[in-house]
Structures are given as C-alpha cells and as structure tokens.
A and B are shown apart, each in its own frame.
Chain A
Amino acid sequence: MPATVEIAWLVVLLPLLGFAANGWLSFFRPNAKTAVSAIGVGVLLASFGVAIAVVTGLSGAAHDAPFIVELWSWMPVGDLQLDIAFQVDQLSALMLLVVTGVGSLIHIFSVGYMKTDEGYARYFAYLNLFVFFMLVLVLGSSFPVLFIGWEGVGLCSYLLIGFWYTDNANADAGKKAFIMNRIGDFGLMVAMFMIYRSTGSLDFGAVFDAAPTAFTVGGATVTLITLFLFLGCVGKSAQIPLYTWLPDAMAGPTPVSALIHAATMVTAGVYLVARSNVLFAMAPVSSAVVAGVGALTALFAATIALKQWDIKKVLAYSTVSQLGYMFMGVGLGAYASGVFHLMTHAFFKALLFLGSGSVIHAMHHAHHATHSKDDAQDMRNMGGLRGFMPWTAALMWIATLAIAGIPPLSGFFSKDGILAAAFARGHDAPIFMAMWVAGSAAALLTAFYMTRMMLYTFHGTNRTGVQERKHLHEAPWSMTGPLAVLAVLAIGGGLLNLPHIFPGAGWLEHWLEPVTAGSAAYWEAIHLEVGTEWALLGAATAVALAGIIAAVVLLKPAQLPRASEATEERGWQRVLRDKYYIDELYDALIVRPLVWLSRRVLWRSVDDGAIDGALVNGSAKLTKFLGWAGTQFQTGRVGTYILFFVVGALILIRAVMSQP
C-alpha cells in the first residue's frame, strides 16, 4: 500500500478535531469568531489536501484491488469480525474529493454568511462533525462502518436543520427529517442482517466476492436485500415516498442546504447503490424499482418546483428531482453515469444554493435595515436583483444553464449519460423507454422552473421596496469566491465523462471500472449507434432550450405582483403550489391515526389502564389486601390466640396420628 493511501485516516480525523475544538469554543469562547473560522475552514482545507494526496497515491498504484486501511478491531464476536477500517478505492476516492472539496468551499462561504450569527462556533462545530461522519460513510469498508456515518450525518442534518431552534417550525422540520430517515434506516439494518445471514460477512469486499455463490440471479433473497437497502436510500436521498422531509429541511441555514441537502448527504443513497452494484445487478427487479422510483421522483418533484415561490423550495424540489435522475442511472446499471451526475450535481447545485444564500443574505440585510417583515426568501419580493448583485446573478446563470442541460456545461453530459442509458435499455424493455420519456419531460420542466427562478429573482422590475433597495448589495468576496470556483467546476465538470462519440470519452467510467467490474457480467453492455447518440444529444439540447425559451416567453417577471398583493392561485396551479397535498395526505393517513392510536389506545388504555392500572397499582393493591387480611388474625385478645393455638395443635395431632 502506498504511504499516501495509508494516511486516509487523517482525512477523517481532521474534521473530528475541528469539531472538538469548535465545540469547546462554542461553550467557553463563543465570540472567538476568528479562531472558529480558522479552525473550521482550516481543518477542511487540510483534509482536502490530504484527500488529494490519498487519491494521487491510489491512482499511482498498479493494481485494482481496493486498499483497506485497518484502524482497530471493533466487534470480534464469534464468527463476526468487525473492524473499524477504511476502504480506499476509485469510488470512495471520488466521493472523498467531492465531500472535502465542495465542503471546503461551503465552509469558506459560511464564514461570510454566518458572520453575525450568535451560534457561529456551534455552527462550525456541527458542520465539521457532519464532514467527519460523511467521510466515515464514504470511506467505511463494511456496512456497519458505513452505517455509523449514515446515522451520524442524519444526526448532523437534524442538528443543522433545527439550528435556529428557537423557532418551533425549524425544530419541527428537524424532527421530521430525523423520523423519516428512521424509516429508511430500518430498511438498511434489515438488509445488513440479511446480508450477514446469507454471506457470513459484512465487509464490502467479502460480501461482494461471496455474492455470486451465495445468491442466485433474480432470487428472492437478493431481491429482498436490495429492496431493503433501497428503502434506506429512499429515506436518506429523499425519493418517493419519503421525500417530504427535504423541502422542509430548507429551514436550516442556506450553506447547510448546499452541503448536506444537495451536495453530499442526500447523495449517500446513490453512493450506497453504486457501492452495492454487485447485489443490485443480481436483482434485476430491484434495479428496475430503483430506476422506476428515480424516474417517477424526477418528474414528480419537477412539477412541484414549477409553482414554488420560496427560492430555496424551488431548489429543494429540484434536488429531489435530480436525485431521481441519479437513481435512474444506477438503477439502469449505468453506475458511472449515476455517480457522474452525483458529482456534477454537487457542483452546480451547491453553486445554486450558495447563490440563493447570497441573495437571501442581501435580502435579510435590507429587511433588517428597514425592519421590514416581508418574507426574504419569497421570489415575489425580489426581482431585478441582477443590477445589485451582478456576480451572483452571472454565476447562478451558469449553474442554471448547467442544470438545465445546455451543452457543453457539466449537467448536459451527466444527464445525457443517464437518459442515453434509459434509451438504450428501452430498446428491449418498453418500461425503460417510459423512463426515458419521464426523464426527458423532467428535463424540460427543469429548464423551465430554473429559468423561472432566475427571471423572478434577478430580472424584471425590483419589488423589494424603495427603502430596502438602498441596502441591497453584492456579497463579500469570501462568499462570491467559492461561487466562482464552483462555477468553473460546473462548466468543466462534464469533461470527466464525455459520451462515446467524443475523443477522450468515458474517463470516469473507466476510472470506476474496478468498482463496477463485479456487476458487469450481469448487465448487458449499454451500446448506442453513433447516429443515435448524436440524435439523443440533439434532442436533449432541444428539450433544454425549449424549456428555457418557454419560460422566457411565457413568464412576465416585470408584471409579477409582490407576495402581499398576489392573487390566490386556482386549479392545477394551486395543486402544484400545495405540493399535491402529499403532506396533508401523510398527515391524514399516517400521522393522525398514529397519534390517535398512541393517545387513545397506547396511552389511555395500555399504559394508563393495563400497565399502570392492572400491573403497577394492581400489585400494590394485592399486597395491601394481603396485609390487611393478615392483621385480622391479630385481634389483641388472648382468647383468640389461644383458640388458634388449640385448633392448630389439634390439626397437628390429627396429622401425626394419621401417619401410618
């Protein structure tokens, strides 16, 4: 093992040290903001540096087998030998760079964004802790180690969504995210138990090596395991039906939305499917379910994003939709394409979220100066911001074109890779062709709603109000700087995995081959004719352009009323604005019956009646009765005692005499 790979543990340790230091500062020196920034950003940059060294060491190594960095033995129980160990291979290397790289940029942005917040040290402590757990998740060499990270990022997500916990709605959003993730975690745990039962191990290497002999292709066991694994992914990556927590998670600070709820944590599900590609490839039904749920989510969330007014809600539904694309990719066996979209999405969506953070920062500042009570995140209160924040506007336009799929930006190539895979698979199975149609329709909607967001935010007339307008300003360089870096990545990221018709194509696919090699035998190779490939690229471009042009033609940002003067939407617009009433549906179908069951049956009947009444108070009453009965023999009268004595003596004599 190269020495540079052996220090992979340092990548993980640095953010943990940052958490410890910032956690200490948050209690004892909450106002030492310079120290907090230096530690918080410093450990991330250092971690990124080490990550680059690790990846360099890996790419220089001659053989393809993953490097296992063993730290210590965790649970040596009988046949189960669990180690705390990190696995450095091509997939985890990629995730390592994305998490620490994008994470560093978001940390730098946070310095400016959170500057005036009281919980500054606490914020950076949580953020560092999150990066630590995320790195454990992507580096873990077994399912349980991954699970530590999986749960840890969930915890940090909860802490950061409810960061401004004094507002009840934020705390509720945190709880919602945590509880919905629990449902997914249950699936992941069941999958782990089943994997151990079938293969006798939980280490990635051992499980995937044993899989071809332990399972039959398309068998019930492997299908169940992968479906339970996917349940975990559905919770963590906000897919139908467990997606409703992600839009609510926007209650957290905006850089958190960029880091956790766009770039890294929510993509953990995609990572898990790509990591377990051998298992999923052996279960075609599960793979089809993954792709189908992904396609459905991509289209469904995109329609909701059409009518959202909160700038972060648009981006939240966009994230849900783009995660759907990723699952479509990995479900179709195009693991490299799914992971590729994960990476490019991390670039442009982090850019969009941070850009919206700049906008919200400026709006808050303006509203704060004039004591305005308007919603600082409602696009109807923005408009024409291009003139006030030209850098943010220009950089966000780049990300918008990237996510919409305009060539040659990164989103174009990554989305096209997934859609091309669906089209190629659709040749044999019409269901995949339907997914291609759904994905293309979602692409059209994506281009439309992103352009809508940009038009309403940055173009048209300014609707902030005359007083507020004086206070609008461009964000400081510490905030626009990371945006610029992300914009470069959003433009150039596509070069990493070009379609096969270009020279130097499929670099990422080739890079990931050692990881996906085990599943290659179960999938038919995705092959498209050169002409078809060109046609698909052309169609994707046309769809993206159509969405953008439609938005520019149909929407009139100049005539948009402010939020306070807006008329109520009607018909389907209202259904979309209210997100198909899915939250209300869940509330009526699950939450209310559950609360009723808990309150009426479990609390009043079972707890109060059976446990408290019958068991606790009942046993006390029985003891009391027995005591009372005992006292009745103690009359205090000597005569009674003597009577008992005589009767007892007679019984004894009788018993003795009846002995043979």
Chain B
Amino acid sequence: MLAPSLGVSAILFSIGVAGVLLRRNVIIIFMCVELMLNAVNLTFIALAQQLGPEGQVVVFFVMAVAAAEVAVGLAIIIAIYRHKESVDLRDFNLLKG
C-alpha cells in the first residue's frame, strides 16, 4: 500500500506546485497551496502505517495550521480585492524592489 500512496501524494503535490507557478488567479493558487498541504498529509498517513502514530499526530497539526492559514490568507485576499478590484496575481506587485 505504501508505494501507490506515496505516488498519489507526489502527483498531488506536483499538481499543486504547477498550479501555484502557472495560475494567475489568487483563489486558485490558494487552493493549490492547500492541495500541496494535503499531499504532504497523505505522505504522513502512508508512512505512519509503518513507522508508528507520530505521523498521524503531525497531520492534525498541519490541518490546524492550515485552517488558521486559510482564515488569514482569505482575509488578506479579500482586503486586496477591495483595494485593487482584482484577484489577478499580476496586479499584486507592491513588493517590487
């Protein structure tokens, strides 16, 4: 069961990375980030089958932090949307040096 589980999580993680790199819509990128987090969660679960329950504990931590991150992240996105009237990442370039 280990190899297919790790394979699925690797595929999911790659999809997440590709989405973050290629998409412009902040909401989609945000979802891709979540996808990566969950791919990692899947890896933890799969490995926990063999190595003991610590991996499962970490998954709960990740879920809790992800929930908090979603709350903050969505709040920032809404704030930016109110300011810029856009969710396109190309319009968000205030960090330019």
Contact indicator B21/A636 (Cβ below 8 Å): no
Contact indicator A642/B96 (Cβ below 8 Å): no
- In the A-B complex, the 9 residue pairs with the closest CB atoms: A636-B96, A634-B97, A636-B93, A631-B97, A636-B95, A638-B89, A642-B20, A637-B93, A643-B21
Contact indicator A636/B94 (Cβ below 8 Å): yes
Instruction: Pull 5 A–B residue pairs with CB atoms less than 8 Å apart, ordered by A.
Output: A636-B93, A638-B89, A638-B95, A641-B95, A642-B21
Q: Chain A residues near B60: list those with CB within 8 A.
A: none
Tell me which residues from 46 to 97 in chain B have a Cβ below 8 Å from any Cβ of chain A: 89-90, 92-97
Q: Chain A residues near B97: list those with CB within 8 A.
A: 630-631, 633-634, 636
Contact indicator A637/B90 (Cβ below 8 Å): yes
Q: Chain A residues near B93: list those with CB within 8 A.
A: 635-637
Is there a chain A Cβ closer than 8 Å to B17's Cβ?
yes
Q: Chain B residues near A631: list those with CB within 8 A.
A: 97
Minimum C-beta distance from B73 to chain A (A): 12
Contact indicator A637/B21 (Cβ below 8 Å): no
Main secondary structure of the interface of A (DSSP, over half): helix
Q: Chain B residues near A637: list those with CB within 8 A.
A: 89-90, 92-93, 96
Q: Which residues of A contact B (CB under 8 A)?
A: 630-631, 633-639, 641-643, 646
Minimum C-beta distance from B12 to chain A (A): 16
Minimum C-beta distance from B8 to chain A (A): 20
Name B33's closest neighbour in chain A (CB-CB). A642
Residue from A635, A636, A643, A646 whose CB has the most chain B CB atoms within 10 Å: A636
Minimum C-beta distance from B37 to chain A (A): 15
Q: Chain B residues near A630: list those with CB within 8 A.
A: 97
Minimum C-beta distance from B19 to chain A (A): 11
Q: CA separation between A439 and B92, bound complex, in Å?
A: 99
Q: Chain B residues near A646: list those with CB within 8 A.
A: 17, 21
Contact indicator B17/A634 (Cβ below 8 Å): no
Contact indicator B96/A639 (Cβ below 8 Å): no
Q: Chain B residues near A635: list those with CB within 8 A.
A: 93, 96
Q: CA separation between A642 and B32, bound complex, in Å?
A: 13
Q: CA separation between A637 and B90, bound complex, in Å?
A: 6
Q: Chain B residues near A633: list those with CB within 8 A.
A: 97
Minimum C-beta distance from B54 to chain A (A): 21
Contact indicator B92/A638 (Cβ below 8 Å): yes
Minimum C-beta distance from B31 to chain A (A): 15
Minimum C-beta distance from B79 to chain A (A): 15
Name B97's closest neighbour in chain A (CB-CB). A634
Name A643's closest neighbour in chain B (CB-CB). B21
Q: CA separation between A286 and B95, bound complex, in Å?
A: 81
Extra contacts, 14 of them, besides A630-B97, A634-B97 (Cβ < 8 A), are A631-B97, A633-B97, A634-B95, A636-B93, A636-B94, A636-B96, A636-B97, A637-B89, A637-B96, A638-B29, A638-B89, A638-B92, A639-B21, A646-B17
